[in-house]
Amino acid sequence: MDFTAASADEGFRFAVRADGQWCRSRRRHHDPAAAASCHVIDEVTRLAATCPILAPTELEHRANAYLGQTADLPDTRVRVNWAAVHVHVAPEDLHAAQARMRLRARARADWEINQLRVAQLVAYRDQLREDPTLVLAQLLLESPEAVSEQTVDIIPLVAEKVAAFAPGAAWVKTAHLLDESFGKLAPDAKQFVIDRLCTALTEFGGEVAAQRLKEAHRCQ
């Protein structure tokens, strides 16, 4: 008999030819040949559902290994002595399946490349949050001829934009404001501000931060 069985790949079916031998017992079945055929079809269909369309040989071996032994069909009094199957794939289905596999592989490769790019961009963004001058360093490394006074003036604007999207952006802006204002103070005024900040930090449990501030500005 000839029949088809759906493969594990949606839309593709195996072409199957089966030969075999059956016999019936004392209690006769009305159509023992149909019972034997249904048994073979059911078993091949079950195995085919786990095989990709590009693996007809695998399906053929599995089916013959299973159907090459005697099987008593329940409630039918029919015995299938043996069955041998031959599996084929239509040439047009073979080409279509191969084309689909290539498209899937290409899509997977493109997805992995995009994920890598996203990961690199995220890492670069995080580095810029810590040190926006990396932009200038990158320009000097990749396109030194493009660096000008105007380019250097743009770097603080880049830093501000990056900081706006950083976690705790309000604190980042506060730090920038303090840095901008602090740099213009006279030395004694700077020392006064540092002393006040250290005192406030200590009062509110920030001893570690106060110590780091002292060390950074060599404040005793």
Quote the percentage of the chain above a pLDDT of 90.
Answer: 39
- In whole angstroms, what is the distance from residue 102 CA to residue 160 CA? 45
Yes or no: say if 139 and 147 are a contact pair by the CB < 8 Å rule: yes
What's the rounded Cα separation, in Å, for the pair 48 and 40? 12
**Tens digit of pLDDT for each residue in 181-213?**
776 777 787 788 888 888 888 888 888 888 887
pTM over 0.75: no
Per-residue b or e along 121-140, where b marks 16 or more CB atoms closer than 10 Å to that residue's CB:
eeeeeeebbeebeebeeebe
Q: H helices within the chain, ranges in order?
A: 32-48, 56-67, 91-130, 134-142, 149-164, 169-182, 187-203, 207-217
Query: What's the rounded mean pLDDT across residues 69-98?
Result: 90
Confidence of residue 168 (pLDDT cuts 50, 70, 90): low
DSSP strand pairing (2-6 vs 78-88):
unpaired
Tens digit of pLDDT for each residue in 99-114?
998 999 999 999 999 9
